[in-house]
Amino acid sequence: MLIEHKTGTFVSRALKIVLWIFLGMLGLIILAVVAVQFSGVQHYIVRKAFSSVSDKTHTRIEVGSVDIEFPNSVVLRNIFFESRQRDTLLFIQTLAADVNLFRLFSRDVRLTGVRIDSLTAHITRTSRDSSFNFDFILDALSSDSTAAGSSPDTSAGPGWKITLGGLRLNGIHATYDDEVSGLNLRLQLGTLKASVD
């Protein structure tokens, strides 16, 4: 009789502990979802991400502000990428994307609409090393395993699926100077709307 009572007490305690752990984890998830709704938390997360890329590239990469409206919209303002020559590589005044943020967990990026306002880009390639002025960003973001010459890890499953529904560009200014091919282009674009079906 005493053994049955102790066993029942043990099972009861174990269930209470499991229940408290489950409720604690659920509470943390709810807290995280609520916290991300605040602009201060959004700014912190995005600035940390941009700061990480900036540290890897040893150049200035910044975002002025971010507005994430769960679960469908992301707006970044005043995005700046500096080149290694300390010139403007890319500046975007506003980048707005209509995207289902929950689908990102399944590696599915569905952009139903993207709007870019006031973009300035300067792309160059020099003849001395035939590299583009943005190659350092790609090099910094590439994984160490593929940079060392080994084959990429394919055990992680399928890659990202990206679809784009519509694109609107307003106020685009871009230059492309390629010393290797001798191609020099200047682009001034007022407005361009494109839809992809």
The pTM score is 0.71
The C-alpha atoms of residue 176 and residue 134 are separated, in whole angstroms, by 12
**66 within domain boundaries:** yes
**pLDDT, one tens digit for every residue, the chain (197 residues):** 445 556 667 778 888 888 888 888 888 877 877 777 777 777 787 888 888 888 888 888 888 888 887 778 889 999 999 988 888 999 999 999 998 877 877 888 888 899 999 999 999 998 888 888 888 888 887 854 454 455 555 555 678 888 888 999 999 999 999 999 899 999 999 999 998 87
How many folded domains does the chain comprise? 1
Please tell me the predicted confidence (pLDDT) of residue 80. Answer: 93
Instruction: Look at residue 155 in the predicted model and tell me its pLDDT.
Output: 58
pLDDT confidence of residue 151: 57
Considering the domain boundaries, does residue 30 fall inside one?
A: no
Quick check: is 99 in a domain? yes
Is there a domain that residue 33 lies in?
A: no
> Amino acid identity, residue 182?
G
- The verdict on residue 171 lying in a domain is yes
> Does residue 21 form part of some domain?
no
Q: For 132-165, how does the pLDDT look when each residue is reduced to its tens digit (9 = 90+)?
A: 888 888 888 785 445 445 555 555 567 888 888 8
Confirm whether 46 is domain-assigned. Answer: yes
Nearest-angstrom CA–CA distance, 45 and 36: 9
Contact predicate 133/80, CB 8 Å: no
Distance CA 120, CA 95 (A): 12
Domain hosting residue 172, numbered range: 38-144+157-195
- On whether residue 7 sits in a domain, the answer given is no
Q: Closest Cα to residue 108, out of 164, 72, 161?
A: 161
